[in-house]
Amino acid sequence: MERQEATQRNIQEKSKLKGRTLFIILAVLGAVIMGYLISLHYTNQANSICEFGEKLSCDLVNKSHYSEILGIPFSVLGFVYFLGTLGAGIGWYNRFTLKKVIFFSILFLGPALYLTGTEIFLIKSFCLFCEISKILMISIVINSYLALKPEKFDHKELVVGMVIAIFLGGATYLLHSITLLN
Q: What is the pLDDT of residues 113-128, one digit of tens each?
A: 999 999 999 899 999 9
Measure the CA–CA gap between 182 and 167, rounded to whole angstroms. 23
Q: By three-state DSSP, how is residue 50 classified?
A: coil
| Average pLDDT value for the chain | 87
Q: Give the pLDDT band of residue 11 (cuts 50, 70, 90).
A: low
Contact 140, 112 (CB under 8 A): no
Q: Give the pLDDT band of residue 102 (cuts 50, 70, 90).
A: very high
Contact 134, 37 (CB under 8 A): no
CATH of the domain at 170: 1.20.1440.130
The structure's pTM equals 0.87
Contact 80, 43 (CB under 8 A): no
pLDDT at residue 15, as a whole number? 67
Measure the CA–CA gap between 84 and 49, rounded to whole angstroms. 26
Q: Give the pLDDT band of residue 182 (cuts 50, 70, 90).
A: low
pLDDT at residue 49, as a whole number? 81
Task: Calculate the CA 56 to chain-centre distance.
Answer: 20
Q: What is the mean pLDDT of residues 52-67?
A: 86
What burial letters (b/e) apply to 69-96, b meaning 16+ CB within 10 Å?
beeebbbbbbbebbbbbbebbeeebeee
Measure the CA–CA gap between 131 and 182, rounded to whole angstroms. 29
Structure confidence by residue, pLDDT tens digits, 63-97: 888 999 889 999 999 999 999 999 999 998 888 99
Q: What percent of the chain has pLDDT over 90?
A: 49
Please give the tally of structural domains in the chain: 1
Q: Give the pLDDT band of residue 160 (cuts 50, 70, 90).
A: confident
Could you list the residue range(s) of the whole structural domain that residue 81 is in?
A: 2-181
Measure the CA–CA gap between 53 and 99, rounded to whole angstroms. 40
pLDDT at residue 25, as a whole number? 97
On the CB side of 36, CA atoms within 13 Å amount to: 16
Query: Which residue would you say has higher pLDDT here, 153 or 83?
Result: 83
**57 has which bridge partners?**
51
Contact 37, 61 (CB under 8 A): no
Q: Where is mean pLDDT largest: 4-8, 61-65, 128-132?
A: 128-132
